[in-house]
Amino acid sequence: MTLQTELDAGLAALDLPLSAAARTRLLNYIALMSKWNAVYNLTAIREESRMLTHHLLDALSVQRFIPDGARLVDIGSGGGVPGIPLAIARADLDVLSIEPNSKKASFQQQVRIDLGLGNFDVQTARAEAVQLDTGRDFVISRAFGDLADFIKVAGHLLKPDGYMLAMKGVYPDEEVRGIPSGWKLVRAEELQVPGVEGARHLLWLARAAVPVAA
């Protein structure tokens, strides 16, 4: 099975119809990740087929929860996951990646240039040091640790009625119990990622005054 066939099957399983141009960009992104990985250690995964399932399709499994035209901040995405796949698949999104590792941020910048992603940008900085003119609709992270730390480090980047999206494996009961005062879990979705075994969850966090997400 070719990588193109695997991508087509994965997108079909996610019920995500994409143009030929977007599919080509996704495959080119995998090729760039594979090429740069040898030098920049972007991911422990070396096989392009597993990069496709465990990075690209994993990222795209959350896109259906993000409304049209949303402004999104991706925290500490390393090689650009989930921000870059989301920006490729959803031209309507405005995606800002904040990555403290300069080499990984340089890779993301090169992807932006090579793939012509006008709706994606990257800043080389620690999230807690970044100040935005206006808060974003969503702050997302896949590789971040504890939920309380996620809120502490990046909560200030969110607009008052926005949501923080934490991509997790097994549902983190202990972390949920440790959500700090003034914040709450408003929604939890179990994700099905084609080609990926094991539990995957998307947790929605918000300030206490924000209503439950639909």
What CATH superfamily classification does 3-207 receive?
Vaccinia Virus protein VP39 (3.40.50.150)
Mean pLDDT of the chain: 95
Alpha helices for the chain (secondary structure H): 3-13, 20-40, 48-51, 58-60, 83-89, 102-115, 147-154, 173-177
- If you search the block for the tokens 């808060």, which residue do you land on? 135
- Place 169 in a pLDDT band, splitting at 50, 70 and 90: very high
Q: Outline where DSSP puts E strands in 52-196.
A: 71-75, 94-98, 120-123, 136-141, 158-168, 183-190
Integer Cα distance of 158 and 60 in angstroms: 22
Nearest CA-CA partner of 179 in 151, 214, 200, 209:
151
Q: Domain boundaries in the chain? A: 3-207
Nearest CA-CA partner of 141 in 70, 55, 81:
81
pTM: 0.95
Asked whether the predicted pLDDT for residue 61 surpasses 80, the reply is yes
Q: Which two tokens stand for residue 204?
A: 């929605």
pLDDT given at position 213: 60
Query: For the CA atoms of the chain, what is the radius of gyration?
Result: 16
- Place 57 in a pLDDT band, splitting at 50, 70 and 90: very high
Three-state secondary structure call for residue 42: coil
